[in-house]
Amino acid sequence: MIPITIVIPVGPSEANKRWLPEALDSIRQQTLLPDEVLIISDMAGLPQGMDHRQSYPIRTWPTPWRLGIAAAFNCGVALSSNECIFMLGSD
């Protein structure tokens, strides 16, 4: 199987943060699970680190300043451990 990374940028608006748990739940319900989920916290104030409660690691990377969705996706692609990347909006 090809290793897969899912990149989710999360901005500072409440709409982005409110739907993040549902986006992660949707990933858990898929037939083929990713090897990692990379959350780009674009000034969203999300906690940093790994979440090992899942069957795949969730890494959170905080941006040093507000990038916007497109640049946050690009950061996720650059930080990914895998070549196959799926981009998922948090909202």
Return the pLDDT at 51: 59
pLDDT band at 45 (very low <50, low <70, confident <90, very high): confident
Per-residue pLDDT, averaged over 31-52, amounts to 82
Contact status, residue 61 vs residue 38, Cβ threshold 8 Å:
yes
Task: Report the alpha-carbon distance of residue 69 to residue 75 in Å, rounded.
Answer: 10
Give the model's pLDDT for residue 52.
52
Whether residue 86 contacts residue 8, with contact meaning beta carbons closer than 8 Å, is answered with no
d(CA 52, CA 36): 11
At residue 17, what are phi and psi to the nearest 5 degrees?
Answer: -70, -35
